[in-house]
Chain A
């Protein structure tokens, strides 16, 4: 028996992988999307969430970074 599924292979660091697992378990994107947990740095996911993930990552990075106060007047 062999199971075949189409999708996208994601390579990321272990921290990001945990973020993806979190999104998957909480169904934050509306559904489960992880097809196979491969190893610490690889996941196999369904293709349709790829764009949504990019946006999620962008907003996550936005939340966890603070702007360096180099603007005039803020120094």
Chain B
């Protein structure tokens, strides 16, 4: 897990306080006398005086827009899920914006520091188990229909974005990995594949791909199983 920085949230809170004391809320200006008792308007902060970034942060974390106390499967709360860590913050790029060199270096260093390797070295697991994990999108969903990790094992979600074996239709947000095993199983290739599943930002700063190992969606054994699905010559990924 990464350290969450509460700095932005407190900045927004401070800004809101200033606005309260400043008075003159635009949310009041259009109110008719008749609508007054409805009191549907929390006239505390003036949205029009905030930057878009500050207002977004306020709406997500301070405005009672989300169930911030909602329990999560990992024992935290909704607030923790919504509070950005350093990589999430650095990679929240706007329209058409690409990550700059300084940010890229920082993100890659943070990612490298997050990766933990198996004690006995990286080995391939069971491709059949890996196949099921690669297909499964179960786990860690909360909102109106929380996933129950006692009833179902969280999966790797790989097929949502990648074409793997051709017996199932995968997405195309990520590159197709059909025939991935042709890359071989040298120590370098094992490490590369492990790293990309564990925390892909180490090679691809600000990629869309989740950090399956670093955030604890997949454990080391599960990563080994998915690696076997990708690299084992007997896996359907490599039997075309």
A binds B: no
Residues of A within 8 A of B (CB): none
Residues of B within 8 A of A (CB): none
